[in-house]
Amino acid sequence: MIEFLFSQYKNYSYTDISLEIIAVIFGLLSVLYSKKNNVLVFPTGIISTGIFIYLLWKWKLIGDMTINFYYTIMSVYGWYHWTRKKQGKIEFPISWMNQKEKRWAVLLFVLTITFIIIIYKFFDKFTSWTAYVDTFTTGLFFVGMWLMAKRKIENWIFWIIGDIISIPLYFYKGYTFTGIQYFIFTIIAFYGYIEWKKILNSNPQAL
């Protein structure tokens, strides 16, 4: 089992292995801060995604790299929104999606998948079944990140679905540390949804 999970790292440089571990640690910190509704979700997330952009580019995983590039941009956007105040209160507290946002979420999902298909075809990446799964999870994660930046409780649902799919996918690709990260992400996302829901139910205007 150990050989199966970690044999691919024999050909990796010490630097790349260290970077992946650091990215995983900051990724986990980011999700933990998100669960706690703490704005530190964004700076820790930026460190993680920044490292993964480099690693995924090096590993030629274009779809995954695109996701992390988008995460970085949305982290800046979310950081701005989470710290905005109106009359001394956070302007964008935890809330449910409205009908308009649901329509935007569907549109973002469709546009994301369309964009990824174009990118994959251009780089001739549809050579394995994993590419098709990547396309679907990219759509889920794009919507999830957008909703998190807007403090919408439904973001956790998209993270949970995407994380569950990604766990075996990353193990199959040979990126064990990242696969373990997504396993832990799934657990945290589940409890994150419960915690945000409690906050919202106890006080609809809670920060």
pLDDT digits (tens, 9 = 90+) for 67-124: 899 999 999 999 998 988 776 677 788 999 999 999 999 999 999 999 989 988 888 8
Alpha-carbon distance 152 to 175, whole Å?
Answer: 30
Whole-model pTM: value is: 0.84
Domain that holds residue 42: 13-202
With 90 as the cut, is the pLDDT of residue 7 above it? no
Do residues 119 and 63 lie in contact, with contact meaning Cβ atoms separated by under 8 Å?
Answer: yes
* Residue 98, domain member (yes or no): yes
Whole-number pLDDT of residue 204: 56
- Give Cβ neighbours of residue 110 (< 8 Å, ≥ 6 apart): 139
Alpha-carbon distance 81 to 90, whole Å?
Answer: 9
How far the first Cα of the chain sits from its last, in Å, is 45
pLDDT in tens, 28-76: 999 999 999 999 999 999 999 999 999 989 887 777 788 899 999 999 9
In the block, which residue shows the tokens 């820790």? Answer: 44
- Per the structure, the count of domains in the chain is 1
Do residues 139 and 82 lie in contact, with contact meaning Cβ atoms separated by under 8 Å?
Answer: no
In the block, which residue shows the tokens 């964008």? Answer: 92
**Residue 156 CB burial class (10 angstroms; 0-12, 13-18, ≥19):** buried
Pairwise pLDDT comparison (184 vs 88), residue with the higher score = 184
* Residue 1, domain member (yes or no): no
